[in-house]
Amino acid sequence: MRSRPPPPWGDGSEPSRGEAMTTPEMSARARLRERLTWLQDEETRLAALEDGHHRAQEQTREAAHRLHEAEIALGALQRDDPMRRTYAFVNSGVIEDDTATLAAQAAADRARADHDRVSDIDRNLSAEIEQSQARLRRAHNDVRAALAAVINDSDALKALLDAQDHAFSVIRGVRKACAIIHDRLKADCSAEFFSRWQNSQSFDPSAINHAIDEVPAVRWAAALDAILADPDAALPS
């Protein structure tokens, strides 16, 4: 099996940390780009290994079949050839050699060697695939951590959380206004007013039959996808 050229950071090892960037955001985005490159390279490596493993399994099955056929042919000769040569001597007085048996033995030996070689490659690929899968899991974890480093300290996330705080503030203000109205009108409040004021609203975004503004979620989902494709992509403003 020919050795695969090692990736830029070495043989499956993690990429180096690199020098610090000029700002925290640039440093975080640079690290995300580095980790994404590692992830993409490891995905490419794993795909190649799995393709090779599939081919090795096919060739192992074919080699096993050839070995089985060669051993059957050798067994038949080893069983029948002594008696055949015995009768050849009785009938003609000639002592025949065992060329056919030796040739069958050589064929079986070659088939066994071929089977052993491809089986060894198959086992090596299985072991390498396990290691690549482990590296890929670490790469996914590192990409997630690097993405979090970009998002957690971003102005965009702070603005989103500020918007949530403002929305809660508005809700409290509206409910306070409703309480003032109820205090003034008391029993003369309409049934619709009282029902809607007292209606308990869910803040669960997956709640059924509750209106939801999808814009923030759509913008953030698109932004997170974009930054994983291009670490320089902008976050929602």
Contacts of 88 (CB under 8 A, 6+ apart): 94, 95, 96
pLDDT in tens, 137-178: 999 999 999 999 999 999 999 999 999 999 999 999 999 999
Q: What is the pLDDT of residue 6?
A: 45
Q: What is the pLDDT of residue 156?
A: 94
First to last CA, the chain: 52
Say if residue 147 is exposed, middle or buried (CB neighbours under 10 Å; 0-12, 13-18, 19+): buried
Q: What is the pLDDT of residue 172?
A: 94
Contacts of 205 (CB under 8 A, 6+ apart): 212, 217
Q: How far is Cα 10 from Cα 30, in angstroms, rounded to an integer?
A: 19
- Number of residues assigned to the chain: 237
Q: What is the pLDDT of residue 217?
A: 96
CA-nearest of 182, 200, 183 to 191 is 182
Q: What is the pLDDT of residue 93?
A: 66
The token pair that represents 158 in the structure block: 């702070």
Q: What is the pLDDT of residue 210?
A: 83
Question: Are 163 and 46 within 8 A, CB to CB?
Answer: no
Q: Which amino acid belongs to residue 70?
A: A
What is the architecture, at CATH level 2, of domain 16-153?
Orthogonal Bundle (1.10)
Phi, psi of 81 (to 5 degrees): -65, -40
**Low-confidence residues of the chain: pLDDT under 70:** 1-22, 87-90, 93-97
CA-nearest of 53, 231, 229, 18 to 132 is 53
Domain ranges within the chain, ordered by starting residue:
16-153, 155-201+211-237
- Tokens 């079949």 sit on residue: 65
